[in-house]
Copies of this chain bind each other. A is one copy, B any other.
Amino acid sequence: MPTRHILPLPGYTQTIGRLVAMLTYARQTTLAAVNGLAREQLDHLHDSRSNTIGALLAHVAAVERVYQVITFEEREPSTAETAAWSAALTLADEGRREIQGHELAFYTDELLRTREATLAALAQRDDTWLEAPLRMSPELNAHWAWFHVFEDEISHRGQIRWLRGRLR
């Protein structure tokens, strides 16, 4: 059972710590939702317009990679990055075609590597940075961006739970 206290955390400024607590809780529930799934279950398509659970996991990691670039590097993803992440970001036909054949560890390893980079970068920043408008996108601040990362993850986790309940 993940901790059910949202609090500042050691190693982060106060508001970043609370944010990390939320990011962490959300991730724990995602990992719990896919625990034990086999490759064929990760590749299963519920219907022709669905995304596989594997593709949704790849999407969660890719969204986090994009927001690392936007918030920590304050730039748009490069052409190479966009190409690498495109199937996972857009899902749909490209995701259905390209994201398959992987064991669960393929997805969870990428989630882990991605999250390690996020936490290392957040540990070097402070609450003033967190709440300032982003230079490249002043219509959002980094706090919203990282809220959105776990918000999008939770939304897809809801779909993953629904899809998992219908695996044969």
Q: List residues of chain A with CB under 8 Å of any chain B CB.
A: 3-7, 15, 18, 22, 25-26, 29, 47, 49-50, 131, 133, 139-141, 143-145, 147-148, 151, 154-159, 161-162, 165-166
Contacts and interface: CB of A to CB of B under 8 A. Distances in A.
B147 A25 contact: yes
Q: How many copies does the complex hold?
A: 2
A147 B23 CA distance: 11
Contact of A143 (B7, B156, B161): B7
Contact of A133 (B5, B50, B165): B5
B147 A154 contact: no
Nearest to A5: B141
B154 A49 contact: no
Contacts of A5: 131, 133, 140-141, 143-144
